[in-house]
């Protein structure tokens, strides 16, 4: 059955969409990628065009299969993984979005979150969802769309039509997984990990929460059905008369960071991984216990297989890491990301320069929506090499911020951290990360673990893989990095990083430029 059949994974990320085809050993046999436009209507606002994302999804699926001469009939299943929290609404009749998707990085609802704080609703959110009240999550985005989406796009004349029709289930809510599953299968479905990121879903009762829906005035009729991450019943199948011209089950989905946890085979309590993408996301499996954080982390759902208990995780969400490298490129300090290692190695230190890349605020464990990007410690002798190295170091320092919070919450001392994502191809960064945290860093052979995790979830659901042990046997180490920096030096530099973070905090205030 598995000799000439495969599992495909749609990996829909913040900057682009990828389709990867995996064989039974978990190796990549085909891979296609397409970027999409980043839309910035106002400072602090970030949007994507959902229609562009869907068109790109179809394109990369076709291209990947074509490159490897794989017929759609050879796909046993498709899995989906996605940028989390990014939110959109669409018309159930036409299937057309009523507005651009509001991206997880978007800060337009900061004032609304501060109102929640003033109203004393933050603790209710934390208790029910495991999340901090933040514009990062979907609830305030959905509320904003219901209040502000253009009724003309719905071909209706009255603004109240959007909310009226949402209450009848004629306007649908979804995160990007829901949008893709809807377009692939025609079914309005999400799964537990994505639901857990909306700030509307009770992670203990495992259902949409009436109190939260009332607070954000989100009608339950517009919400998708919530299913397991790996679903034996499947979410539906592609249309044999559609773009694939084949009936392929869509059987697994996970938010991108939970997908990486699954792809790194972190199936047991205490297993941890950090994914270095646009942001960095550090997750530790806590088993069937939802561990409450006292140190600024999120309690979230890690994954769920059909017929099994939900597995929970602690998460540290760092908003800007890989995006800081893109910023260096935007500022013409580097020509391409590969140049960062060479420039950073060319100096012994940052010469006292610290970069705090709080371009969209600070996530875990600080949770400061009004923090902004800051460079401190510059002198007349500061060169671009120092700024580049300081930017790489900021990635490592932010990860240590989360690692220390993780150890304090879990009571587990971390001796090894599995890493993945585009930035871990940089050996300098991996070594730096090991030095700053003071623990082993382990990089797998297949570093596309986000896509791999969703493929595993889908493949398990249809019997392509038999059980998690079979997946563990696929996992292979590419490189390991041990700490080399003197601990006293690492600690001293980290202390100064903490001082730099304080300079960045609470910078963006209303009415001030």
- For the annotated binding site for ADP, the residues are 14, 18, 278, 322, 422, 426
Binding-site residue positions: 14-15, 18, 84-85, 136, 256-257, 278, 322, 422, 426
Q: What single string gives the DSSP state of each residue in 239-258?
A: -TTSTT-S--BEEEEEEHHH
Quick one: which of 224, 310, 209, 247 has its CA closest to 74?
247
Dist. CA 257–CA 381, nearest whole Å = 40
Q: Per the structure block, which two tokens stand in for 33?
A: 């990628």
- Tokens 């300081």 correspond to 390
Binding-site residue positions for glycerol: 84-85, 136, 256-257
Count of Cβ atoms closer than 10 Å to residue 481 Cβ: 21
Quick one: which of 369, 363, 316 has its CA closest to 117?
369
Q: How would you classify residue 217: left for phi > 0, otherwise alpha for psi between -120 and 50, otherwise beta? A: left
Binding-site residue positions for ATP: 14-15, 278, 322, 422
Helices 50-67/176-185 angle, 10° precision: 60
Cα within 13 Å of Cα(64), Cβ side: 29
Question: Is residue 126 within 8 Å of residue 202, measured between CB atoms?
Answer: no
Q: Per the structure block, which two tokens stand in for 222?
A: 């517009």
Dist. CA 352–CA 244, nearest whole Å = 55
Dist. CA 120–CA 124, nearest whole Å = 8
Dist. CA 250–CA 458, nearest whole Å = 7
């Amino acid at each position: 059955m598995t000799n000439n059949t495969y599992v495909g994974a749609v990996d829909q990320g913040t900057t682009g969409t990828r389709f990867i085809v995996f064989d039974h050993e978990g190796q990549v046999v085909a891979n296609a990628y397409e970027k999409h436009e980043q839309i910035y209507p106002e400072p602090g606002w970030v949007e994507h065009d959902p229609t562009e994302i869907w068109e790109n999804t179809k394109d990369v699926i076709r291209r990947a299969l074509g490159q490897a001469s794989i017929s759609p009939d050879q796909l046993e299943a498709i899995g989906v993984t996605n940028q989390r929290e990014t939110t959109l609404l669409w018309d159930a009749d036409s299937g057309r979005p009523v507005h651009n998707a509001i991206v997880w990085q978007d800060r337009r609802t900061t004032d609304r979150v501060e109102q929640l704080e003033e109203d004393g609703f933050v603790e209710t959110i934390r208790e029910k969802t495991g999340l901090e009240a933040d514009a990062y999550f979907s609830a305030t985005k959905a509320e904003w769309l219901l209040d502000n989406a253009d009724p003309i796009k719905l071909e209706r004349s009255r603004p109240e039509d959007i909310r009226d029709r949402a209450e009848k289930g004629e306007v649908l809510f979804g995160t990007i997984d829901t949008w893709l599953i809807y377009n692939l299968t025609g079914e309005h479905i999400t799964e537990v990990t994505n639901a857990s990121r909306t700030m509307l879903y009770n992670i203990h009762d495992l259902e949409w929460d009436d109190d939260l829906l009332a607070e954000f005035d989100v009608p339950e009729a517009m919400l998708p059905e919530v299913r397991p991450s790996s679903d034996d019943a499947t979410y539906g199948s592609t249309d044999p008369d559609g773009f694939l011209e084949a009936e392929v089950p869509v059987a697994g989905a996970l938010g991108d960071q939970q997908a990486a946890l699954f792809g790194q085979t972190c199936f047991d309590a205490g297993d941890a991984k950090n994914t270095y993408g646009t942001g960095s996301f550090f997750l530790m499996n806590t088993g069937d216990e939802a561990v409450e954080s006292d140190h600024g982390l999120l309690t979230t759902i890690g994954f769920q297989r059909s017929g099994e208990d939900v597995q929970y995780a602690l998460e540290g969400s760092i908003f800007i890491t890989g995006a800081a490298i893109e910023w260096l490129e935007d500022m013409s300090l580097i020509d391409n990301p590969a140049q960062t290692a060479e420039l950073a190695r060319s100096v012994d230190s940052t010469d006292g320069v610290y970069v705090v890349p709080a371009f969209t605020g600070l996530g875990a464990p600080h949770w400061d929506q009004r923090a902004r990007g800051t460079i401190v410690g510059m002198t007349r002798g500061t060169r671009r090499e120092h700024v580049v190295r300081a930017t790489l170091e900021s990635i490592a320092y932010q990860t240590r911020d989360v690692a220390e919070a993780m150890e304090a919450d879990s009571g587990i001392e971390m001796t090894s951290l599995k890493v993945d994502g585009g930035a871990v191809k940089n050996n300098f960064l991996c070594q730096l990360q090991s030095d700053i945290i003071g623990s082993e860093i382990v990089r797998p052979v297949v570093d596309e673990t986000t896509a791999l995790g969703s493929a595993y979830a889908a493949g398990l659901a249809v019997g392509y893989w038999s059980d998690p042990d079979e997946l563990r046997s696929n996992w292979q180490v590419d490189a390991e990095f041990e700490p080399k920096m003197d601990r006293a030096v690492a600690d001293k530099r980290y202390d100064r990083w903490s001082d730099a973070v304080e300079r960045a905090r609470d910078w963006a205030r209303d009415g001030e430029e």
